Amino acid sequence: MGEGRIDLPQGTLDLLILRTLALEPQHGWAISERIQQISSDVLRVQQGSLYPALHRLERRGWIKARWGTSENNRRAKYYELTKSGRRQLEAGKDAWEKLTAAVGQVLGTA
């Protein structure tokens, strides 16, 4: 891995995927590109964990998949957020904010 990049804490990847998909349906490659882009190259998603995560989320019913045509005219598997996925995203975001605020507080006062 390059410098300036950090490993994702456990469970965060799911949240990032859900957040990315909240904007519009995307295929796997675009999801990883988007995360990398938005995080200004700090977060880089390993392919080896991206796809298992997508399949896991699909099994849980938070996202669903359908085949579509990509920007370069190839068949690609697009994922989109389901209703329960959206709820999960809200809940995950709340929890995340609480966590970071708390961790920040502890680190700030230490």
Partner 1 sequence: MLSDLLFRIRALFRRKSVETELDEELRFHLHRQFEKYVQSGLSREEATRRARIEFGGVEQAKEECRDARGVRILETLFQDVRYGLRMLRKNPGFTAIVVLTLGLGIGANTAVFGLANAIFFNPLPTVQDPNRLMVVHEGLPDGSCCLVPPKSYLELSGDGQLFAQTAAYTWAEATLPGDPLPERVEAANVSQNFFSMFGARFALGRDFFPEEFQPGRSVAILSYGFWQSHFGANRGVIGRPLRLGDREATIVGVVASDFDFPIGAQLWMPLALSAQDGNQTSKGQLHVLAMLHSGLDEKRARPEAAALAARLEKDYSATRQRLTLELHPFRSQINGNLTPLFTMTLMGAAAFLLLIACTNVANLLLARGLSRKREITLRTALGAKPTRVVRQLLTETALMATLGMLVGLALAKIGLVLLASGMPAETARQIAGWERLGLDRTSLLFGTLVTVMVALVSGVVPAVQTSSPKLIECLRGTGATSSSGPSQLRSVFVCAQVSLALILLTGAGLMIKGLANMLGDARSYGPKTLLTVHVDLRGSRYEDPQKRKAFFNQVIERFEGMPGVVSASVFTTPPLSNGETMWWEFTISGKPAREHEHHAMLQTVSRSFFRAVGLNLLEGRGFTEGDRESSIPVAIISEKLAKMYWPGESPIGQHIKLGSPNSDQPWLTVVGVVNNVEYDWTDNAPEKAIYVPYRQSPPVFTYLAVRTNGDAHKLAASIGHELASIDPVLTASDARTLERLLFGSLGGLFEIGGLMTVLGMIGLCVAVVGVYGVMGYVVGQRTQELGIRMVLGASRRAVLRHVLGHGIWLTLIGVGVGLTGAIVLTRLVSSFFFGVEPTDAVTFLTVTLLLAFAAFVACYIPARQAMKVDPMVALRHE
Spatial separation of the C-alpha atoms in residues 47 and 103, rounded to whole Å = 29
Q: Which is nearer to partner 1, 4 or 108 (CB)?
A: 4
From candidates 5, 9, 38, 52, binder to partner 1 by CB under 8 A: 52
What per-residue string of b and e applies to 27-44 under the rule 16 or more CB within 10 Å gives b? bbebbbebbeeeeeeebb
Question: Does the footprint of partner 1 cover residue 34 (CB under 8 A)?
Answer: no
Q: Which residues pair with 68 in a beta bridge?
A: 76
Token pair in block for residue 106: 């502890």
Stretch of residues binding partner 1 (CB under 8 A), selected from 11-19, 23-31, 89-97, 100-108: 23-31
Q: Which is nearer to partner 1, 53 or 89 (CB)?
A: 53
Spatial separation of the C-alpha atoms in residues 77 and 58, rounded to whole Å = 12
Q: Which is nearer to partner 1, 36 or 39 (CB)?
A: 36
Q: Please report, as ranges, the residues that interact with partner 1 according to CB under 8 A.
A: 27-29, 46-49, 51-56, 58-61, 67, 70, 72, 74-77
